[in-house]
């Protein structure tokens, strides 16, 4: 019954000798764990990212460009006659890219440039009616 090169048995009983289990103890003096973490998770694991105040809420709305829709028409919608019907109810449609096909897009929001480009191609963007308070 040996210790497999760990010295006295009492040294390796808990995880205090290693600086904690798992990711714990990868702080000030645990450079031996930092190399593993940077290898697995990259250099952006440590430190702060970005500047926000506590009250600032992150904009989590889903967005999609016209270019992405045009490139993946079969994935997003189905063909009905000479037009493509696309249902993106949770998305905001943005105007980057060119449109070749006629699109009928159902969306939550759309930018002015996106609406203009789709109308110019012979399609339309259907937005939900906003209720007035």
Q: Where are the domains of the chain?
A: 62-126
The pTM score is 0.56
| Average confidence score pLDDT of the chain | 84
43-99 tens-digit pLDDT: 888 777 777 778 888 888 899 999 999 898 888 888 888 888 999 899 999 999 999
DSSP assignment of the chain, as one string? ---TT-SSGGGGSSSGGGTSSTTTT-STT-HHHHHHHHHHH-TTSSS--S---TTPPP---EEEEHHHHHHTHHHHEEEETTEEEEEEEEEEEE--S---SEEEEEEEEE-HHHHHHHHHTT-EEE-PPPPP-
Which one of 3.10.129.10, 3.40.50.2030, 3.40.50.300, 3.100.10.10 gives the CATH number of domain 62-126? 3.100.10.10
């Amino acid at each position: 019954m040996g210790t497999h090169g760990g010295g006295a048995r009492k040294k390796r009983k808990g995880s205090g000798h290693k600086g904690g289990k798992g990711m714990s103890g990868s702080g000030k003096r645990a450079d031996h764990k930092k190399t593993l973490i940077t290898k697995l998770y990259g250099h952006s694991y440590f430190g702060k990212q970005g500047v926000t105040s506590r009250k600032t809420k992150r904009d989590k709305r889903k967005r999609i460009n016209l270019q992405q829709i045009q490139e993946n028409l079969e994935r997003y919608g189905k063909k009905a006659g000479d037009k493509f019907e696309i249902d993106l109810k949770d998305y905001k449609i943005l105007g980057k890219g060119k449109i070749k096909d006629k699109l009928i897009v159902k969306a939550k929001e759309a930018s002015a440039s996106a609406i203009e480009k789709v109308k110019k191609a012979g399609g339309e963007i259907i937005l939900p009616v906003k209720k007035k308070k």
